[in-house]
Amino acid sequence: MHHSHILLPDDDLRSAEMRVIALLRAWNTNLDAQTAMWEDLQTSLGAARARSCLQAFEQMLQLLAKHSWRPLTIMPMGTKGMTPDEAALARFVMASTEQRRDTALAEARFLVSPSALLPLLCAASRFGLPLLCEECRARILTPSVKTPLN
């Protein structure tokens, strides 16, 4: 029996959430995709920040691999839309980063066993912070559109 995945629209995602999903997909694809993502992060964040971001990301993945209730469904790169697992993880990372602890812990309960909740929360916030900074920097550096006054 073949199961098809139900994909959620990804049109309303913030850039930091899209980055979380892109990293998940790259790490699930192959070494070339991981290298490309690393180079992109390095260019955007700088070497030191990119390194600490990826270390936290890998720690988060290790915790998920060890304590997850079930394997997460991660789609291949280039897929339009996202799985409920990808959406939940992106929401969790952003809630952790933005210090919405109750929301983050509620999301994490569906991802991992109780013993991994706090370590996962910590890793996710360290992973998400550089991505959130990247999003803020992009907003500031994007030239605003000026409209003539009537």
Q: Domain containing 107: what range?
A: 15-136
> How many domains does the chain contain in total?
1
In-domain check, residue 150: no
Residue with tokens 């079930």: 70
| 19 part of a folded domain | yes
pTM beyond 0.75: the answer is yes
Per-residue pLDDT of the chain (150 residues; tens, 9 = 90+): 445 556 666 667 788 889 999 999 999 888 898 899 899 889 988 899 999 999 999 999 999 999 998 988 899 888 888 898 999 999 999 999 998 989 998 888 888 999 999 999 999 999 999 988 887 777 677 655 444 443
In a domain, residue 9? The reply is: no
